Amino acid sequence: MPGFNEITFKTTPLSGRGTRTKRRSRSLSTSSADSYSSGSYSSSSEDDGVSPREKSQQNTTGFNDFCVANINQAAFGRREIEIAEQEMPGLILLRKRAENDKPLKGARIIGCTHITAQLAVLIESLGALGASVRWSACNIHSTQNEVAAALAEAGFPIFAWRGETEEDFWWCIEKCIMNDGWQPNMILDDGGDATHVLLKKWPDTFKLIKGIVEESITGVHRLYQLSKTGKLTVPAMNVNDSVTKIKFDNLYCCRESILDALKRTTDIMFGGKQVIVCGYGEVGKGCCAALRGLGAVIYVAEVDPICALQACMDGFRVVTLEAVVRHVDIVITATGNKNVVCRQHLDRLKNGCVVCNMGHSNTEIDVNSLRTPDLTWEKVKRQVDHIIWPDGKRIVLLAEGRLVNLSCSTVPSFVLSITATTQALALIELYNAPAGRYKQDVYLLPKKLDEYVATLHLPNFDAHLTELNDDQARYLGINKAGPFKPNYYRY
């Protein structure tokens, strides 16, 4: 196994709110902000009726550069972080190997991601590797309040709480950027919002950024658009399409968490249910595999003929949404696109149909089209709404169309260890790269780094790699230590 400082890399550039709605409620609050992650058990920031922005809080050392729901939840959050650490061996191993070298010394990182126990392990690892960070949430529903409190207690500037309003969301990002005597030089983004705000409001500061690491398909699309229009003035790393992200987080994480989210919110029985999954990328593949395993009848909607053929070969019927919309019991979007499920589809759904989104962006389901005077919104519980038509038909909408697994359930820590390790190494690579290695473009993670991430996690399974001999390595035309596959290889 190579030491941390023994890795060398090759680089591969890649070119390229709605109308007022009737609402009934069975809960104390009917606000869209009254939402939370079912994986988090502390009370919502809404419960005491005071916005975190109006509270004066400090941790036990007097530190107050943060805005969280309740700093007094820190002890509970710390226990959650400790549990997550046990299931994140690769990231912890990277931290131990690189901590003395401090490869991120001098790095000032703006983070905009989900704030969960697993992400807290990454944040603390970046701090251990020498970085200074300021962090906000990329989703108004997914923050674990007790974890945010634990990070604030540890001295990290965290600006996030579960149930933020849209205005709160942008305020938190700006608080991460605006701080006297602190200027960011790196961005770790999940969706591109921090990148967007910095570029739009502080373009001169944006030009000083050494690198952007982006992990979502939505954020990656935004980076490519900036690159095509010549507005991307700094190098960026596309982590979403790295092998250790797309083949593990997108597939295995979603395969487990989709069931968790649906069970927690609806108590639904999957056997015999008809489900349409819109999109058969890695996320869609994970959802389909999980639901079929519990006896559901799966349909797939796809625009890409290659993905459609994969679905057919995996035994799923490929149809249009319009063809089955009247009959399905569950609709799941996983495309990364917009308006995949529109009002015309929602009007035709059967009574009791469950609708949710597994793609990063909250634009896949046209939720705004449901905020009309003829429809009634009835809050069943946090993250679960009945949308009721005039004839009495109702559908079940989860997380208001936002990412359902991180809004309504928890996700496997081990898979997120793989993703977090990938993000950390991408930050280290961009920050320490010599001048000229990376241009103003979007890059894939170097193959050697992908393999190193996997290597860090194999000891957890007591796995032992076979080693090539010299003759075999010459025959394949590769180095005995890797990389073992060319950049164009599809795993």
- Give the whole-angstrom CA distance, residue 388 versus residue 129: 52
The per-residue pLDDT for 402 is 92
468: helix, coil or strand?
coil
The arrangement of strands across the sheet holding 12-14 comes to 12-14, 442-444, 236-238, 211-214, 186-189, 108-113, 132-137, 158-159
- Give the whole-angstrom CA distance, residue 112 versus residue 195: 9
For residues 448-460, give the mean pLDDT. Answer: 95
Q: Who has greater pLDDT, 92 or 5?
A: 92
In the predicted structure, residue 15 carries a pLDDT above the cut 50: no
Q: Who has greater pLDDT, 115 or 27?
A: 115
464 burial via Cβ count (<10 Å: 0-12, 13-18, 19+): exposed
Residue 232 contacts residue 223 (beta carbons within 8 Å): yes
Q: Which long-range contacts (CB under 8 A, 24 or more apart) does 431-436 make?
A: 431/103, 431/104, 431/107, 431/185, 431/186, 431/210, 431/211, 432/103, 433/211, 433/235
Share of residues in the chain with pLDDT > 90 (%): 81
Share of residues in the chain with pLDDT > 70 (%): 90
Residue 235 contacts residue 436 (beta carbons within 8 Å): no
Q: Which residues pair with 274 in a beta bridge?
A: 297
The per-residue pLDDT for 268 is 95
Task: For residue 384, name the pLDDT band (cuts at 50, 70, 90).
Answer: very high
Over residues 100-122, the pLDDT tens digits come to 999 999 999 999 999 999 999 99
For residues 450-460, give the mean pLDDT. Answer: 95
The per-residue pLDDT for 489 is 86
In the predicted structure, residue 490 carries a pLDDT above the cut 90: no
482 Ramachandran zone, left/alpha/beta (phi>0; psi -120 to 50): left
The per-residue pLDDT for 487 is 82
Return the number of other C-beta atoms located less than 10 Å from residue 221's C-beta. 16
In the predicted structure, residue 27 carries a pLDDT above the cut 60: no
The per-residue pLDDT for 471 is 96
E strands, 365-437, in order: 376-381, 384-388, 394-398
- Give the whole-angstrom CA distance, residue 421 versus residue 248: 12
205, 246, 403, 416 from 412: Cα distances, Å? 36, 15, 15, 7
- Taking alpha carbons only, the member of 347, 305, 304 closest to residue 322 is 347
82, 128, 254, 255 from 136: Cα distances, Å? 21, 19, 23, 27
The per-residue pLDDT for 4 is 52
In the predicted structure, residue 1 carries a pLDDT above the cut 90: no
For the residues of 314-348, what is the DSSP string, one character each? TT-EE--HHHHTTT-SEEEE-SS-S-SB-HHHHHH
Torsion (CA) 246, 83, 260, 361 in degrees, nearest 10: -40
In the predicted structure, residue 35 carries a pLDDT above the cut 50: no
Angle at 116 between CA 114 and CA 121, to 5 degrees: 110
User: If you average pLDDT over every residue of the chain, what do you get?
Assistant: 90
First to last CA, the chain: 22
Task: For residue 262, name the pLDDT band (cuts at 50, 70, 90).
Answer: very high
Q: Return the percent helix, strand and coil in the chain, to nearest 5.
A: 40, 15, 45
- Give the whole-angstrom CA distance, residue 201 versus residue 262: 39
The per-residue pLDDT for 47 is 55
Task: For residue 42, name the pLDDT band (cuts at 50, 70, 90).
Answer: very low
Task: For residue 340, name the pLDDT band (cuts at 50, 70, 90).
Answer: very high
DSSP state for residue 382 in the 8-state scheme: T
The per-residue pLDDT for 274 is 98
Over residues 279-334, the pLDDT tens digits come to 999 999 999 999 999 999 999 999 999 999 999 999 999 999 999 999 999 999 99
Token pair in block for residue 445: 């993670």
Token pair in block for residue 430: 């961009």
The per-residue pLDDT for 406 is 85
Over residues 70-90, the pLDDT tens digits come to 999 999 999 999 999 999 999
Q: Tokens 């023994």 label which residue? A: 6
Q: Which residues pair with 211 in a beta bridge?
A: 186
Over residues 473-489, the pLDDT tens digits come to 999 999 999 999 988 88
Could you write out the three-class secondary structure of 132-179?
EEEEEECCCCCCCHHHHHHHHHCCCCEECCCCCCHHHHHHHHHHHHCC
In the predicted structure, residue 453 carries a pLDDT above the cut 50: yes
Task: For residue 14, name the pLDDT band (cuts at 50, 70, 90).
Answer: very low
Residue 205 contacts residue 155 (beta carbons within 8 Å): no
The per-residue pLDDT for 49 is 76
Residue 89 contacts residue 460 (beta carbons within 8 Å): yes
Over residues 197-223, the pLDDT tens digits come to 999 999 999 999 999 999 998 899 999
- Taking alpha carbons only, the member of 232, 83, 16, 58 closest to residue 155 is 58
